[in-house]
Each structure stands twice: as C-alpha cells, then as structure tokens.
Structure 1
Amino acid sequence: MYLGLDLGTSGVKALLIDGDQQPVASGHGPLDVSRPHPGWSEQDPAHWLEACEHAIGELKASHPNELAAVRGIGLSGQMHGATLLDRDDHVLQPCILWNDTRSHAEAAMLDADPRFRELTGNIVFPGFTAPKLVWVKANEPEIFARVAKVLLPKDYLRLWLSGEHMSEMSDSAGTSWLDVGKRRWSVELLAATGLDESHMPTLVEGMQPAGTLRAELASQWGMQAGTPIAGGAGDNAASACGMGTVGEGHAFVSLGTSGVLFAANSAYLPNPASAVHTFCHALPQTWHQMGVILSATDSLNWLAGIAGREAGELTAELGDNLRAPSGVTFLPYLSGERTPYNDATIRGAFAGLAHESGRAALTQAVLEGVAFAFRDSLDALVSAGTRLERVTAIGGGSRSLYWLKAIATALGIPVDVPADGDFGAAFGAARLGLIAATGADPFSVCTLPATSRTIEPDAGLAQAYEEARRRYRALYPAIKGVSA
C-alpha cells in the first residue's frame, strides 16, 4: 500500500492506493481560511496537523490493515505559503497563503530587479513566498529577526511527520528563490531578501526519498516506523503526476478553487513577460508551464452564496446544451488576477446587466468569464512557446458538462474527460511515494488515465463566443483605473 497526503486550502486528503495503483480508501480533515484584513489570507499550521491526524484517523478506523501495509508516503500541498519557524521549529505566526496579496508592493520591488526573472523564469507575483518575507521584514521586524527556517506548507507537514527540513523542486520553484533552470537555491536571490541557504530546506527531486515516518506517529497510526516519505510536489505538479501529465505536449485544465491550465515540458522554456508560470516538474529534468486564474470555482461559489443556492443547482438551471452568450459579461477577478495581468488590485465585475438578466444569465456569465480567463492563459502559453492540441479536465468544476462545453468552445480545442477515478493531487502524491519506496521508473508509473468522453468545441457558437471574448477583453482596461 502507498499513502498520498494532499494539504489543500480547504482540507487535507489522505488517499491509500495498492500496488496496482488502484484507490483503496480515503480520509479527509477540513480546514478554514482566516482573512483578518482585506487582501490577507492565513492559516494556522497547527490546524494542518490536526486535519492530517483527522484524515489518517479515518483511514485507521476504516482500513487499519491497509494502513499498516503502507510502504511509501508522498506529499502534495498548496504552494507559495510562508511558514516561518524559529531555531526550535516553533511557528512564529500564521502561514501567509498563496492567495494573500498584502505583499504586492514588495513583489513589484523584487520584480524590478532583473535577476529575479532571469534566474527564476517568472514574474515575482504577490502570492509567491519571497515578497511575503520582505513584507514581514518591513512590517514585523521582530518576527523576521527570529526566522531560522522558511518552509512551504507541505514541507511543514513533512517536518512533523519525519523531523526533516526538506523540500523538492516543483514547490520550491514557486518561492522566487529557486534557480529554476539549474534546479537549486539561488544565493543571489536569497541575499536580495535578507536570507541565505541556511534558512532553506534541503532539496531533492519529487520522487526521491525525503525523510522517514517518525516512530511516535507510526505507533499512533499502526504503521511501520521508517516508512520513506517522497519529496512530493506542489499541488499542480502532483495533480499532473496523478493525471500522467508528465510528457511533452500533455496538458490539463483544472477547475478548482483557482483555475490552472497546465502543460508539461521536456525543456526549460521561460517567458516571464507572458505572466505564465514556468516551474520545475516533480520528475527529474522536466518542467511545466501554467496559466493561473485566482478565482475559478471560487467565482461560482461566490455567486451561489449570494443566490442562496448550491453551485450545482445554478449550473443545473442551464441544462447541458451550450447557449449563445447573453450579453452579460463577468470578470472573475475576485482576488485579483495572475495570468495574463499580474494584477493584485483588480477586482471582478458584471457588465451588460439589464432588467431581463436573471439568475441563469448571471450563472452563464460566470461560467463564460472563467472560460475566457482560461483562453487568456492559453494565449499566454502560446506566446511562451507551448502549443496545445487538447486538454484533460480535472477538479470539482469539471463535473459541469455545460462548463466543459464553454471551456472547449472558448479554447477552440477538445477537452477530454477522464474515466471515473481519483486522479488528483493526493493520487499523484501516492504515486511519488510508490516510486520513492520501490525505485520504479517514474514514467511507467505516472501514466495517463483512460478517457471516458471528449467534449469538442461547438463550431456553431464559435463566432458568438469570439465576439463575447472581445467584449470580455475590452473590460479589463476599462475598469482597471476604478477597481483598486
């Protein structure tokens, strides 16, 4: 058996798979986000440990023998979070999360230093880890002075599980401290933020062992002490391992809290001006590019909360047949936007509202707005040298057939839907745990799932969608000066 642990924003998932990579059982521990000020987003790392204990406790209660048979563990986690520890590994303050934008001025300052784009291959986005530390240095100097280690969220989980300060390439590429082409910490970039390599965890590749399970926890869960823990991956790279998106030309579109258009590459192809993320992949000598939308299903959930309905109820009102855009346009910038604008202060909007614009029209506009945001990411990927012929859909939003049809039509390429199964980040993490424990060939383990159906672009609505997208694109510059 192999165990994948995925530390997400809304919870920790624990997934058991067998030696044939078949899911056996899963457990879940919930998490909440604290937003004490506008633009802030935090979590207490102690809650991650509680959620992990809850998730593994569910597995122990339902599948104790299978849990006892685990021979490898893999980790996945939300990226970019700044978990600050003192020399005794005590947490100094709540973790500043990936969608926290308080350090937008510090990010702009670092991004103005040409070394950051040159060495990391990326814009320094406000959500990345390095500007968060510059913000802490400027606003909480007494805390900054006590920082001995900076860990990403999943690597704090590893510290608790194993006692080791370790990380891997895919997650670390999102800090703005990694030389992404050379796959190592940059002494230059660390020094530019008042840090050095002693503040960083040791680096391995995602499928290499990075610590072993502590005896105390092994005894508590009925597991084997010394079970190897893989380096793991950031959540998107872990999902890619779960989906088999590890070879050149493979891509997926993820409809989660945030939205991601992810393409695997066999070479390092940075183009930071496009606002595309270029990160190390979880497997050696592989990289990936991503366009990122900060509010994907979050946009639909926001509307559902206002409407007093479940998100599924709203999409069900539209049926399965794609409709022509109604003239109502939605910009999904509820938390700012990354690709293609790198704008932390922009905010969302509806435009084109009329007396006849009912709930269904607003829902349709939200789905279309997110679809057009994915098209922005596709255009950015193309400008960065990546061309896609098709994508595979994952994430909770992919359960909406209507939304998938809208995305296929907006992108102008087919969207494949995988056969039933669990191919997400926890599954990818479990695959990495399997490789770390057995030494299996990564590319023979991280294979593509079977496709259950393919959603083709609606040719009859292509022109209407293109006209709606032009309206969508014209709105960003129109509202930029009044939305901050």
Structure 2
Amino acid sequence: MFIGLDLGTSGLKGVLIDDAQAIRAEATAPLEVSRPQDGWSEQDPAAWLAATDAVMRELRAAADLGAVRGIGLSGQMHGATLLDEGHRVLRPCILWNDTRSHAEAAALDADPRFRAVTGNIVFPGFTAPKLAWVRNHEPEVFGKVALVLLPKDYLRLWLTGEAVAEMSDAAGTSWLDTGKRDWDDGLLAATDLGRGQMPRLVEGSEASGVLRAELAAQWGLPEDVVVAGGGGDNAASAVGVGVVKAGEAFVSLGTSGVLFAASDAYQPDAASAVHTFCHALPATWHQMGVILAAADALNWYAKIVGRKASDLTGELGELRAPGRTLFLPYLGGERTPHNDAAVRGSFLHLDHATDRTALTRAVLEGVTHAVRDSFDALSGTGTRIERLIAVGGGSRSEYWVRAIATSLGLPVELPVAGDFGGAFGAARLAMMAATGAGVEIATAPPIARVVEPDRALAPAFAEAHARYRDAYKALKGRH
C-alpha cells in the first residue's frame, strides 16, 4: 500500500491506496491562512506538521498501515519557508497567493537572465522575489537564512530529516534552470543566496529519503517506508488524472484555477505569462495558465450573500448566454495572462434588474472568461489540447463545467466520484519510487460523463469574453 499527502492552502489531505490503486482510506485536516495586510498571505509551518499527524492517525484508525511501502508528497507551490542553521523556522511561510513582493518581482524580471534560464516571468507569487522582499524589509531574518524550503519539502524534512526538493515544485521558485533541471547559481546570486541554502533535487518519482523510525512507530508503519520526491500540487494532480503526455490537459477549479497541459518537450514562452515547469516525471514538462481566484471567488461571493456555494450554483438551471453583468475575479491580482499583482476584482454593469442569480452567473462566467484567457495564452505558445478533464470542487457544478466547455469549444470529461487529485497523484509517485513502476501506472481515471459545449451559445460566450478583456484593459488603466 501507498500513502499520498497533499498539503493544500486550506487543508491537508491524505489517501491510502492499495497495489491496484484503489483508495482504501482518506482523511483531511483543516488549515488556516493569515492575511495581516492587504496582499499578504501566510501560514505557520507548525500547523502543517500538526495536520499531517492528525491525518496519519486518522488513516491508521481506518486501515492497517503495516503494509505501506511508500509515501508521496504533493503541495501548494512557491511558498517561502525559511530555516536557520538549526532548521528552526524563522518567520511564517509566505504563500503562493501573497503579492507583497511585486516590486522585487519586477526588479528580478527586468534581469533578462531570469526569463532566459527559467522560461518564466518572475511573478510576485514565486519564491525568489519573496526572498528579495525579506532581504529588503526583514534583513535580520534574511541574515539567518540557512535553508529555503517549499511547503511540502518542509514536511519532508520533518518526515525524513532530508532537505530535498523535486523538479516540478522547484521550477516555480525562479531559481531553477527548467530545461537542465538544476539550480542556477547566477539566479541564486541575484538574490544573495547560494546553492548551499537550497535543498538537494530529485525527480518526483524517485526516492528522497526514508520515514524516520519514531514517526513510523507512532503511525504503525514499517521502518523502511520510502518517501518519494512527489510533486507540486498541479503536477501531482496531473499524475493523479493521467495527464502525463502531450495533448492531455486538465482544468482545475479549486481555490485557484489552473489550465494544465502536459508536454514532452521544453517549449517556454515567458512573455505570454504561461507557466512552463518541469513535470513530476523525468524528461517531461508542462505548461499552465494560472488564475489566482477560481472557487475562491465563488466562496467569497457565497459568504457575502450568506448562502452555500453549492446552493447558489444549484439554482441556476440550464446554461444561458452570459448576461450584461460582468465579474472580474481578480480578488488578489492575476497571473495568466496579465501578470498584474495590483488589479482587484470588480462587478460591472449592475442595474435594477440584477438579482442574486444574475450575480452568481456573473461570478462563474468571470472565472470561465479567465480560463479562456489561459486557453488562448497556451494556444499562442503552440500547446495543443486534445483531451480535457475537469477536477476540483468547482467541477461539481454542471453549469460551470458546461460554461467552460462552451467557452473553449472543447468537451470536458468528468471522472467518476473519487479523489484523483494531488493526494492520489502523490500516492502514485510513491508507488513508482518504492516499486520501480513506470509512468504507465498514471492512467486516466474512469470517466463518468462528458460535458459537451453548447454550440448555439458559443458566439455569446465569445462576445462576453471580448467585453471581459476590454473591461480588464479599462481597469488596468485606472490602477
């Protein structure tokens, strides 16, 4: 058996799978985000350890863990977890959706080496500008930094005692040579850091260490459990849904939104704001467009109107042409294709006829338009999408999935009920690391149904998307 642990923003999830990849048990533990200032987003790494312990104990209560051979890790990307020489945490982790380092990101991005080596814009959410911000604003902390770890790799340090990262997560730091799959000394030096402050690198399907004996004893595991490299949350999710070859893609409607396409070649186009990262599998890359608020935007709106998000989407009925009302889902800035940390969300074209249903539709349509932005950006790089699977909590909304299918002009496949996301992908990577299994185990899950585009509504969605793009341009001109 194999365990996958997925360290998300709002919670940590664990799944236990058997040798046939059937899920035998699963558990979750909630996490909270601190936002002490506008644009800031932080977590206490100690909470990750407590959540992991709670999840492992719940898995043990549900199943015998004595036959577990491997653990895989998945996690939120880009977070800056800063440790001193004694591996003590120096400050709360600055998370992926934190935009305080926008000035530092712009300064690094102005250095042409970063785009040339990493294949990506230096976004404010990436790790390198966060370290530059700490250097500029918290010099006493920066002077003590002996090790920089991404969130899931801090978990690994606790689990194994090894400071290790893997390629898919490391590609989101702005320090990795994404083509060569190695740290770049020049980029590290540009932020006054060195290779000695970076973890060792492995591939996601390789072993990174062995579970510490005391933890194995606490959780009822054997003493020789391998901990795999794992993957950043999106790369691990791709392994979970079998998106591992060119032409395959998924759209994720979680806290953030992602349009992720696998690639068997390194083909960056940084100017498009498309992310080009290593995949969690050797000699494989991926490209993705990232929306900072997807289901997060719906949940924000649901909280404002005092209703459950599922109730709001459930009362919409059949897909309709987008209304005049527009919603721009930029609650904390946006990445693809705008790379705009300062922009904020807006409702536009409200009138006396605008009711709660119209606003709900506008929120779903706004995120749909943002997905279309990412689709257009990926298409502009030459990336092809022949098969699209929907995952994440938002994919439970029939209205939302059909809107995306219609906007993109592509059928969207919905897997059978079950978790095929980051935790499941991490468990698959654990199976590869512990048994030597190859990529062939990363098959697509059974598909429950296919949501087809509504061809009759496609022109209306295209017209609404054009208005959405114009609204962003006007909004950008005012900030």
Q: Could you report, residue by residue, the CA deviation over 1:220-246 in whole angstroms, capped at 9, with x for unpaired residues?
A: 111112311000000000000000000
Q: Give the AA of the match of 2:19.
A: G
Residue 457, structure 1, aligned to residue 453, structure 2: yes
Partner of 1:271: 269
- What does residue range 77-476 of structure 1 map to in structure 2 within 5 Å? 77-319=75-317, 321-441=318-438, 443-476=439-472
* Alpha-carbon contact 2:4-2:430 (below 8 Å) kept: yes
Q: Distance between the aligned counterparts of 2:417 and 2:44, measured in 1? A: 34
- Per the TM alignment, residue 390 of structure 1 is displaced from its structure 2 partner at its CA by 3.4
Q: Identity of aligned pairs, percent?
A: 66
Which of 60, 72, 75 does residue 73 from structure 2 map onto?
A: 75
* Alpha-carbon contact 2:120-2:273 (below 8 Å) kept: yes
Partner of 2:6: 6
Q: TM-score, normalized by length of structure 1?
A: 0.98
Q: Give the AA of the match of 1:216.
A: E
Of residues 415-424 and 242-251 in structure 1, the stretch that sits farther from structure 2 once superposed is 415-424
Q: Distance between the aligned counterparts of 2:322 and 2:418, measured in 1? A: 33
In structure 1, the residue corresponding to 2:247 is in which secondary structure? Answer: coil
* Alpha-carbon contact 1:245-1:263 (below 8 Å) kept: yes
* Alpha-carbon contact 2:210-2:227 (below 8 Å) kept: yes
Q: Give the AA of the match of 1:46.
A: A
* Alpha-carbon contact 1:240-1:246 (below 8 Å) kept: yes
Q: Give the AA of the match of 2:348.
A: A
In structure 2, the residue corresponding to 1:347 is in which secondary structure? Answer: coil
Q: Distance between the aligned counterparts of 1:344 and 1:116, measured in 2? A: 19
Q: Distance between the aligned counterparts of 2:200 and 2:460, measured in 1? A: 52
* Unpaired stretches in structure 1, ≥5 consecutive residues: none
* Alpha-carbon contact 2:291-2:371 (below 8 Å) kept: yes
Q: TM-score, normalized by length of structure 2?
A: 0.99
Partner of 1:18: 18
Q: Distance between the aligned counterparts of 1:411 and 1:305, measured in 2? A: 29
After superposing on structure 2, the runs of 4+ consecutive aligned residues of structure 1 that deviate more than 3 Å are none
- Per the TM alignment, residue 479 of structure 1 is displaced from its structure 2 partner at its CA by 1.1
What's the RMSD between the two structures over aligned residues? 0.7
In structure 2, the residue corresponding to 1:378 is in which secondary structure? Answer: helix
Q: Distance between the aligned counterparts of 1:18 and 1:168, measured in 2? A: 24
Q: Give the AA of the match of 1:96.
A: I
* Unpaired stretches in structure 2, ≥5 consecutive residues: none
- Per the TM alignment, residue 389 of structure 1 is displaced from its structure 2 partner at its CA by 2.9
Q: Give the AA of the match of 2:31.
A: L
Q: Distance between the aligned counterparts of 1:35 and 1:465, measured in 2? A: 35
Q: Could you report, residue by residue, the CA deviation over 1:50-82 in whole angstroms, capped at 9, with x for unpaired residues?
A: 01111111112222x1x2211011000000000
* Alpha-carbon contact 1:389-1:414 (below 8 Å) kept: no
Q: Give the AA of the match of 1:151.
A: L
